[in-house]
Amino acid sequence: MQLFYSFLAMVGFLSVGGSCMCECSDLYVSSKDGSSSEYCELNVQPVLPCGFPEVPKCQCPEGHGAAGSAFERRCRRGDDDEQPCTNADDLVEYAVRFVERFGESRSNWTADSCECSSKAMKPMRGPQESVVCVHPFVTYQTIPCGSSNPPICNCTGAFAEMEDSSMGCLDVVSGEVTRCGNQAALELYERQVKKAERR
């Protein structure tokens, strides 16, 4: 999976209908795909251009709650009453600006000059030396129902995308890229996720 491009698929504002009974851990919400298979989807933006603001919050009428993840948020009351956010135009405008900025600015930043609008995010260097802000769970945008939160890659510097598309650590001074300090825990979690997906 290419971390820098996987998030762009989320900018389509796809609606997810139906009721989800999937149990998800903190920062994840239950969701369904086209075949009605349930899974947990990351409920925060996994990737942002450096210096770009977070997605606006979905505004809903009284009695409705925001449901869905990041760009897919809608207003829902019960199982059958679902409607777009009242600020849907703002969300569409944001998505357009996001795509434009994402395509233009990745090569203009370095890992030590990139500033992230969210405290939960860190700079990450990817292919062709491009840099963006990523959430530590960017490699796990979807996980099986009932899964715990993934371990966070233990880095003292910025993140880096490894040749195998996994997350690693970047020394912003030397430019050296190494595996996460807790690599064994990450590999164990990966095996657990794959085992749950086969069930």
Rounded distance, CA 51 to CA 44, Å?
17
Which uninterrupted H or E stretch holds 5?
A: helix 3-6
Model confidence over 140-175: pLDDT tens digits?
999 999 999 999 999 988 999 988 888 999 998 888
Question: How far does CA 71 lie from the centroid of its chain?
Answer: 10
- Name the pLDDT band for 38 (thresholds 50, 70, 90): confident
At residue 106, the pLDDT reads 60
At residue 5, the pLDDT reads 43
Q: What is the mean pLDDT of residues 85-95?
A: 89
156's CB contacts (< 8 A; 6+ apart) are 169
At residue 35, the pLDDT reads 66
Question: Could you tell me the pTM of the whole model?
Answer: 0.75
Report whether pLDDT(180) > 90.
yes
Q: Integer distance in angstroms from the first to the last C-alpha of the chain? A: 22
At residue 150, the pLDDT reads 94
Asked if residue 161 lies in contact with residue 140, where contact means CB atoms within 8 angstroms, the answer is: no
Least confident of 38-42, 128-132, 179-183: 128-132
Least confident of 13-17, 54-58, 61-65, 95-99: 13-17
Question: What tokens were used for 102?
Answer: 């994402």
Question: What tokens were used for 155?
Answer: 């880095």
Q: How many CA atoms does the CB half-sphere of 51 hold within 13 Å?
A: 11
Buried-exposed string 150-167: b where 16+ CB fall within 10 A, e elsewhere = bbbbebebbbbbbeeebb
In percent, the amount of the chain with pLDDT more than 90 equals 27
Asked if residue 186 lies in contact with residue 180, where contact means CB atoms within 8 angstroms, the answer is: yes
At residue 184, the pLDDT reads 95
Model confidence over 5-33: pLDDT tens digits?
444 444 433 333 444 568 898 888 888 76
Asked if residue 27 lies in contact with residue 148, where contact means CB atoms within 8 angstroms, the answer is: no
174-182 contacts at long range (C-beta below 8 A, 24 or more positions apart): 180/153, 180/154, 180/155, 181/153, 181/154, 181/155, 182/151, 182/153, 182/154
Which uninterrupted H or E stretch holds 100?
A: helix 88-105
Name the residue ranges covered by the structural domains of the chain.
3-197
Q: What is the mean pLDDT of residues 95-120?
A: 81
At residue 112, the pLDDT reads 85
DSSP single-letter state for residue 54:
P
